[in-house]
């Protein structure tokens, strides 16, 4: 199952995956990412993975296909926080970080959930929508 979860920062798309993920469940996450990319110059993600067993073949193909379409669009992504205690997921996230250097990917244990949410919300200096958030306080 894949469900979107709330995050206080509008540029962050957060979701939770567990059990078996289907292609039908994957589509709202893709739509949320695309919506965030249209509304914000940089998008971050939080993916909580708890007891994930597998993705259906159609979900896997959809996920890989969408991922491939994003290769030319990586400048829109900032961070991806992966929250899990599953070691194989942590290894996969570290591999993705090496492959996609434009995106910061960091793993967090389940007990570090709040830290992961805060880390994903941080934007690089100069990317805040309000100038005051980047330290500008007028002339």
pLDDT digits (tens, 9 = 90+) for 21-79: 999 998 999 999 999 999 999 999 999 998 877 788 888 888 888 887 888 888 889 99
The pTM score is 0.83
Flag whether 129 is in a domain: no
Flag whether 87 is in a domain: yes
**For residues 122 and 139, what is the distance between their CA atoms, to the nearest angstrom?**
25
Residue 54 pLDDT: 77
Flag whether 95 is in a domain: yes
Range of the domain at 7: 2-121
Flag whether 103 is in a domain: yes
Span 70-125, pLDDT tens digits: 888 888 899 999 999 988 888 888 888 887 777 899 999 999 999 999 999 999 87
Flag whether 26 is in a domain: yes
Flag whether 49 is in a domain: yes
What are the Cα distances from residue 106, in Å, to 39, 56, 81, 97, 98?
A: 24, 25, 5, 8, 11
Residue 99 pLDDT: 77
Beta strands at 2-5 and 77-84: parallel, antiparallel or unpaired: unpaired
Flag whether 18 is in a domain: yes
Q: How many domains does the chain have?
A: 1
């Amino acid at each position: 199952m894949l469900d979107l979860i709330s995050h206080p920062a509008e540029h962050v798309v957060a979701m939770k995956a567990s059990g078996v993920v289907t292609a039908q469940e994957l589509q709202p996450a893709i739509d949320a990412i695309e919506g965030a990319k249209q509304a914000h110059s940089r998008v971050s993600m939080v993916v909580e993975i708890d007891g994930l067993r597998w993705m259906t073949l159609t979900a896997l193909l959809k996920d890989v296909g969408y991922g491939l379409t994003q290769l030319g669009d990586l400048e829109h992504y900032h961070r991806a926080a992966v929250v899990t205690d599953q070691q194989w997921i942590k290894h996969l996230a570290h591999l993705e970080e090496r492959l996609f250097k434009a995106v910061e990917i960091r793993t967090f244990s389940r007990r570090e959930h709040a830290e992961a949410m805060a880390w994903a919300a941080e934007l690089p200096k100069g990317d805040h929508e309000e100038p005051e958030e980047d330290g500008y306080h007028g002339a």
